[in-house]
Amino acid sequence: MLNRRGFLASGLFAGAVGITPGFAKTKRKKHSTRKRYVLPKRHQPRIVRLWTRRLKAGEIHVFPNEFALYYTLPYRKAIRYSVGIGRKGLYEPGTFFIGAKKEWPSWTPTKDMIKREPKVYKKFAKGMPGGIRNPLGARALYLFTKKKGDTFLRIHGTNNPRTIGLAVSNGCVRLVNEQVVELYNKIPMNTKVVLHPK
């Protein structure tokens, strides 16, 4: 199993990749004193060098302890994105592939989500159309396995950038909307995705 030391060579910028101002969950009122949330520099995407030759270019690797997603590039490099991950007991490691891609996807909570938190999710049991308030955000990459098909795990956007770097989701991996759009545009169907164990 790869660890952080074996995976990364540097946490420094080697060239900015889509510097991203994050936006708060709700719109600011005209006379509101609430400031726009700016994603901290440590959460901005950056190019890093890989210490290992074991990862092929064109894969996605999520390391939950780092709250980081790496999209591997040629010549032992990768783009590192900061992410939010599944909260305790809901993060599911494994090897997957991208079985579907959707822009501004609709969303329906799973039966398990409704069972765990009916007050939060039952009202959405019939689904929610895509849009800025949708929990899946601007884009979603759907994780499949050959055995199960759709696993109901997603790599998706979020309209709440304050959740990046936290274990808050029901199992999915989330990026700020601007960054998930960037990643979505790079990722072809059937891309290998590895959610590494905690």
Domains belonging to the chain, first-starting first, are: 4-195 (2.40.440.10)
- pLDDT score of 35 more than 90: no
**Average pLDDT, stretch 66-87?**
96
Residue 33: its pLDDT value, please?
56
DSSP-derived letter for residue 131 is S
Residue 43 falls in the annotated catalytic set: no
99-125 pLDDT tens trace: 999 999 999 999 999 999 999 999 999
Catalytic residue among 43, 61, 172, 196: 172
- pLDDT score of 56 more than 60: yes
Q: Rounded to two decimals, what is the model's pTM?
A: 0.82
Cβ count within 10 A of residue 15: 9
Residue 31 falls in the annotated catalytic set: no
Is residue 5 classed as helix, strand or coil in its secondary structure? helix
- pLDDT score of 42 more than 70: yes
Distance CA 55, CA 122 (A): 41
**Average pLDDT, stretch 14-37?**
48
151: Cβ–Cβ under 8 A, 6 or more apart, which residues? Answer: 92, 94, 96, 143, 144, 145
118-150 pLDDT tens trace: 999 999 999 999 998 999 999 999 999 999 999
Distance CA 76, CA 9 (A): 10
Residue 4: its pLDDT value, please?
46
**Average pLDDT, stretch 181-185?**
98
End-to-end CA distance of the chain: 11
Q: How would you classify residue 92: left for phi > 0, otherwise alpha for psi between -120 and 50, otherwise beta? A: beta
More confident residue, 188 or 35: 188
- pLDDT score of 7 more than 60: no
Residue 36: its pLDDT value, please?
81
Beta strands in the chain (DSSP E): 46-49, 60-63, 68-73, 77-82, 85-86, 94-103, 139-145, 149-158, 167-169, 173-176, 192-195
Residue 138: its pLDDT value, please?
97
**Average pLDDT, stretch 159-164?**
94
Distance CA 92, CA 180 (A): 20
The mean pLDDT of the chain is 86
Catalytic residue among 31, 43, 61, 156: 156
